[in-house]
Amino acid sequence: MVIRSGKTGSICHISRGVASLLTRTHASAPRREAPAPVSDSDKRPNLRAIDLARKIRQEKQNGKATGGGSEAAVPNPSVPVSPLQKRVIELRQFTQQLQNVHPNVLAKHLHRGLILPHPELAVINKPYGVSVQDGSRDKNNITDVLPILAKMMDGIRAGTQLHVCLGLDKETTGTLLLARTEEALDYVQNLHKNHQVERKYWVVAVGVPVPSEGVIDIPVIEREVTGAQPHFKMGLSPVYRVSEGGEGVTKVRANRQAQGAVTRYRVLDSSNGCSLVELQPVTGVKHQLRVHMAYALGSPILGDHKYSHWTKLAPQARYLPLHLHARQLTVPEFKGQSDITVSCPLPKYFTSTLRRLQIPIPDEKEEE
């Protein structure tokens, strides 16, 4: 089935049941306890200035410890958290460390995640929260440490280079394809331009897409969202609209600035109002998968704070990571040889969420 219509103004919310189920798992910090009632002795006007300063300082420290300060604040260690909450906290801390560690440390971590040791290609398991290219405020990005990674892979050898063939967003995990020669880089990029490189992503979706399998063929365009938090985001630009009588559709003039976007999807399993969905992008438009899931299928990706609501930037649950994983990559008949297919295991937070939602994990033995 081909889906050819969608509302750019649709608003996607997490159901109350799913929110309560996941908030217990992924809440980054417990709620602050209510302040104790003020006694009569505290109301006395002869409070010294030094006592007042100490009180204000203590309240600020308590606010930071309970999550009332910045997002980087550390939760209060005196308040117990569940094992799954602890994993989310550890993921955030680990991500922050990778963003700011010495480049050699990041390169060593990427080297441990090497999946495909090929003479001309390499695939690494990209970690969550690390940018592929420069442009963010983070100290590190993968492109800058590729020279160090190349020496770790081949030893200290002059002329060794690595090039990113197909990039991934900062919050996306999984297969990141690298070329070890400029010739291999050009070859793969030409295949990609002709839509011959097959990429499969796994996402945890809030909701269950209907129908369970199909093709989304709706152009995508960048739009400005006005309001209390003005910002830009990608949205749908359908070329069909429902007729006034509600019967049939009418073709409309396509927006010149819109980009064609086609995504194949298939629901692998579902439970508790959420689903595990496999996505296969035919085109490569910015945020294509996130927009098609949220606005075309009405099932936003779990942890997608940008596209879960159209008019505002509001998190589904604080610190909840984006559940978007580049699962598999296939380069067909590389230079006349057989196809190269590489699969990347799911990150721990992804599998923990699936177990919490009671969604069976396909090929679970491979994930362990």
Do 130 and 94 touch, CB atoms closer than 8 A?
no
Please tell me the distance from the alpha carbon of residue 32 to that of residue 36, in angstroms, as a whole number: 12
Mean pLDDT of 158-172: 87
Mean pLDDT of 44-65: 54
What would the two tokens of residue 182 be? Answer: 């400029």
Smallest CA-to-CA distance from 115 within 333, 343, 309 is with 343
pLDDT (mean) for 45-74: 51
**CATH fold for the domain made of 2-27+80-358:** Pseudouridine synthase (3.30.2350)
Q: Give yes or no for a contact between 237 and 307, defined as CB atoms under 8 angstroms apart.
A: no
Of 163, 205, 186, nearest to 293 by C-alpha is 205
Higher pLDDT, 156 or 270: 270
Which pLDDT score, from 0 to 100, does residue 140 have?
83
Question: Considering the entire predicted model, what is its pTM?
Answer: 0.73
- According to DSSP, the residues that pair with 164 across neighbouring strands are 178
Residue labelled with tokens 């309970």 = 66
| pLDDT interval class at 21 (50, 70, 90) | low
Amino acid 58: pLDDT? 65
DSSP 281-350: ESS--TTHHHHIIIIISS-PBTT-TTTS-SSS---SSTTPPP-EEEEEEEETTGGGS--EEEE-PPPHHH
For residue 283, what are the CA distances in angstroms to 149, 196, 218, 293? 30, 10, 11, 15
Report yes or no: 316 and 303 within 8 Å, Cβ to Cβ: yes
pLDDT at 31 over 80: no
What mean pLDDT value characterizes the chain? 78
pLDDT of residue 312: 60
Structure-model confidence comparison of residues 306 and 176, the more confident one: 176
Asked whether the CA dihedral 13, 312, 301, 130 is positive or negative, the reply is negative
Q: Which two tokens stand for residue 246?
A: 């509600």
How far, in Å, CA of 170 to CA of 126, rounded? Answer: 9
Could you tell me if 182 and 163 are in contact, meaning their C-beta atoms sit under 8 angstroms apart?
Answer: yes
Amino acid at 94: F
* Residues constituting the chain: 368
Q: State yes or no: pLDDT of 55 exceeds 70.
A: no
Could you give the CA distance from residue 86 to residue 18 in angstroms, rounded to a whole number? 20
Does 243 have pLDDT greater than 70? yes
Six-digit token string for 184? 């291999």
Q: For 267, phi and psi rounded to 5 degrees? A: -80, 120
Q: How far apart are CA 323 and CA 172, in angstroms?
A: 8
Q: Which sequence positions are flagged as catalytic?
A: 169
